[in-house]
């Protein structure tokens, strides 16, 4: 960068010298009717036109880059932030043992002392495999192996339909007198519980030829199963900020404002505590209850937690909240927390890279201006 700053004035001076020589030669050959002032005006107009073109090109390139970055971040947010945790919540902590492929094993001597490709060193069952969701890379490869890049967006049509339904219902309710927008969104989320359950089913199961509406579970069964865990999750998610702000003011004895660093740090800490100990556990319970409504004929893309099917053996139509909480093992909790930490770290690395690219582009643009 220092070399560029050192050489840049010489380059500019050389360019100005060439410009003056060319202008003098052109003036000498032009008719006498054209004055020097007219020529200078013409050159100035051409320079402004060229500068305008460069600005247009830069604006177009910046718009394209911004769109690509936003799309990339939305992809990471949807795939890593929603699909990955859902798979981790429903996957069994001890999936069935996998067998080593015969083609990957080494041949050994047969009984007659001759090498043969039909005898192998180990044809017994391999040790129990680790859950796929224990590794971000393994989970990514699993999704890609199902239906290519489309699997990274599995459930997106259902998510769009569900959000559209929530928006339509909330907008209608907010038009009623004395209905706060937060209350309207909360009620709309409860009315559209079918879409949330269907989204979980689409994400965790193999591709199906069923239409969007055929994937919706029965309304009555869905409401009986998921109403209470959905209320807890929606309340914790919607009012965490207000609860953290209230307890911050209560602990400090004063109302927190944007310029109060201590209050801001305390409120952030309380928010994170609510997120870890209230919002995430309630989300785990809700997803597991929703997964228990998956039809028997649908095959899952990960080894489904055996506890999610126990209710059927007991003659119940869905998993209860208590069973959903107790059946989520300690190993599953550790795996889920590790996944959250990995995803958070990956997002931070990506944001730092994007920030570095933006700084480099700004410096280059400043030098060339």
The rounded mean pLDDT for the chain is: 79
Same domain? 112 vs 74: no
Give residue-wise pLDDT tens across range 236-291. Answer: 887 888 888 888 888 888 776 767 788 888 988 999 999 999 999 999 999 999 99
Q: Region 93-122: what's the mean pLDDT?
A: 47
List Cβ neighbours of 275 (8 Å cut-off, separation of 6 or more): 240
Domain containing 115 equals 99-129
Q: Region 53-80: what's the mean pLDDT?
A: 81
Same domain? 89 vs 28: yes
Query: What are the backbone angles phi and psi of residue 119, rounded to the nearest 5°?
Result: -115, 135
**Element containing residue 316 per DSSP (H, E):** none
pLDDT of residue 197: 96
Q: Is residue 183 part of a domain?
A: no
Give residue-wise pLDDT tens across range 332-357. Answer: 999 999 999 999 999 999 989 988 88
What's the pTM value of the predicted model, to 2 decimals?
A: 0.75
Same domain? 114 vs 85: no
Q: Is residue 146 part of a domain?
A: no
The three-state secondary structure class of 91 is strand
Question: According to DSSP H, which parts of 114-218 are helical?
Answer: 136-147, 156-174, 181-191, 193-204
Q: Is residue 48 part of a domain?
A: yes
The three-state secondary structure class of 126 is coil
In this predicted structure, the answer to whether residue 111 has a pLDDT above a threshold of 60 is no
Q: Is residue 305 part of a domain?
A: no
């Amino acid at each position: 960068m220092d070399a560029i700053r050192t050489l840049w004035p010489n380059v500019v001076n050389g360019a100005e010298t060439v410009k003056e020589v060319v202008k003098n030669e052109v003036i000498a050959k032009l008719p006498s009717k054209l004055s020097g002032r007219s020529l200078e005006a013409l050159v100035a107009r051409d320079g402004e036109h060229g500068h305008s073109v460069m600005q247009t090109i830069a604006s177009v390139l910046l718009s394209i880059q911004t769109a690509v970055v936003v799309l990339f971040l939305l992809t990471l947010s949807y795939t890593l932030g929603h699909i990955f945790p859902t798979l981790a919540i429903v996957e069994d902590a001890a999936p069935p043992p996998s067998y080593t492929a015969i083609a990957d094993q080494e041949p050994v001597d047969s009984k007659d002392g001759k090498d043969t490709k039909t005898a192998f060193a180990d044809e017994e069952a391999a040790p129990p495999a680790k859950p796929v969701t224990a590794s971000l890379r393994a989970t990514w490869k699993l999704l890609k192996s199902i239906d290519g890049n489309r699997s990274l967006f599995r459930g997106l049509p259902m998510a769009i339909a569900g959000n559209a339904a929530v928006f339509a219902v909330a907008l209608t309710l907010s038009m009623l007198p004395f209905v706060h927008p937060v209350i309207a969104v909360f009620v709309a989320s409860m009315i559209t519980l079918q879409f949330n359950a269907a989204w979980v089913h689409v994400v965790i199961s193999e591709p199906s030829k069923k239409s969007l509406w055929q994937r919706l579970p029965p309304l009555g069964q869905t409401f009986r199963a998921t109403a209470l865990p959905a209320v807890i999750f929606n309340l914790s998610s919607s009012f965490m900020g207000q609860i953290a702000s209230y307890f911050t003011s209560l602990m400090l004895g004063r109302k927190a404002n944007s310029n109060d660093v201590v209050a801001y740090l305390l409120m952030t800490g309380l928010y994170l505590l609510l997120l870890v100990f209230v919002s995430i556990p309630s989300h785990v319970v809700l997803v597991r209850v929703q997964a228990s409504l998956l039809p028997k004929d649908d095959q899952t893309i990960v080894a489904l937690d055996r506890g999610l099917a126990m209710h059927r053996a007991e003659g119940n139509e869905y998993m209860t909240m208590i069973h959903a909480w107790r059946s989520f093992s300690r190993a599953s909790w550790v795996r889920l927390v590790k996944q959250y930490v990995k995803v958070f770290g990956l997002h931070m690395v990506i944001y730092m890279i994007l920030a570095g690219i933006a700084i480099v582009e700004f410096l280059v643009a400043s030098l060339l201006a």
